[in-house]
Chains A and B, each alone.
Chain A
Amino acid sequence: GENVEQHPSTLSVQEGDSAVIKCTYSDSASNYFPWYKQELGKRPQLIIDIRSNVGEKKDQRIAVTLNKTAKHFSLHITETQPEDSAVYFCAASKDGGFKTIFGAGTRLFVKA
């Protein structure tokens, strides 16, 4: 069945450095790729998304890239801050997002 693999499972960076989280998906028909941030004890919240007709999207310090040929997409956070510390989930869906497949999550620690 459909699968989304996410790496690394844990990532520790120094404040001000960049962080990169990578995901691969198995279903070539997937065409929508959201990223969620979950702070400790809170709900996952959408931070950025990308559709298959776009290769890159940026929102301030956050950017997402998509390589459809290789079936992988990545989240890039620049100039990391302690408040970026959280668990990040990638996901993939198709057919209008009826069912979304989530990655296992990456726990990001930003050290001050």
Chain B
Amino acid sequence: SQTIHQWPVTLVQPVGSPLSLECTVEGTSNPNLYWYRQAAGRGLQLLFYSVGIGQISSEVPQNLSASRPQDRQFILSSKKLLLSDSGFYLCAWAMGETQYFGPGTRLLVL
């Protein structure tokens, strides 16, 4: 069966510091991969999606970037964090219509 992992689980970072969040999927090949951000008490904002290695589409222009160096690995990065980057970051995978979410990374930028 398929599983999705995210790390770290929680992260506290100062403003202006870099960021790297990792997502890996097991038990499937060539999935579509997604990064979402959820601000406290809010909905799901799609940040990036990928249909294959090296293929990244950005939904919201901002100071974040994403990369897919391997088939089942999706990385979210930033060179300089902003206070507004705080939130719950969710990775998701799909092999068809249904998206399945990872456990999430809670990021607090101070």
Asked whether A24 is an interface residue with its Cβ less than 8 Å from the other chain, the reply is no
Q: Which residues of B contact A98 (CB under 8 A)?
A: 32, 51
CB atoms of A102 and B103 under 8 A apart: no
CB closest residue in chain A, given B97: A97
Once the chains are docked, how many angstroms separate the CA of A20 from the CA of B102? 27
Binary interface encoding of chain A residues 39-52 relative to chain B, with 1 for a CB under 8 A from any of its CBs, else 0: 00011111001000
CB atoms of B44 and A97 under 8 A apart: no
Q: Which residues of B contact A46 (CB under 8 A)?
A: 98, 100
Q: Which residues of A, 22-74, contact B by the 8 Å Cβ criterion?
A: 32, 34, 36, 42-46, 49
CB atoms of A43 and B43 under 8 A apart: no
Size range of the chain B interface in the assembly: 10 to 19
CB atoms of B96 and A103 under 8 A apart: no
CB atoms of B104 and A89 under 8 A apart: no
Size range of the chain A interface in the assembly: 20 to 34
Min C-beta distance of B43 to chain A, whole Å? 4
On whether A93 and B43 interact (CB within 8 A), knowing A43-B90, A44-B90, the answer reads no
Once the chains are docked, how many angstroms separate the CA of A68 from the CA of B47? 29
Min C-beta distance of B46 to chain A, whole Å? 8
Min C-beta distance of B85 to chain A, whole Å? 19
CB atoms of B90 and A97 under 8 A apart: no
CB closest residue in chain B, given A4: B43
CB atoms of A97 and B96 under 8 A apart: yes
Q: Which residues of B contact A34 (CB under 8 A)?
A: 97-99
Q: Which residues of B contact A104 (CB under 8 A)?
A: 42-43
Q: Which residues of B contact A43 (CB under 8 A)?
A: 90, 101-104
Min C-beta distance of B41 to chain A, whole Å? 8
Interface residues of B (CB under 8 A from A): 32, 42-44, 46, 49, 51, 90, 94, 96-104
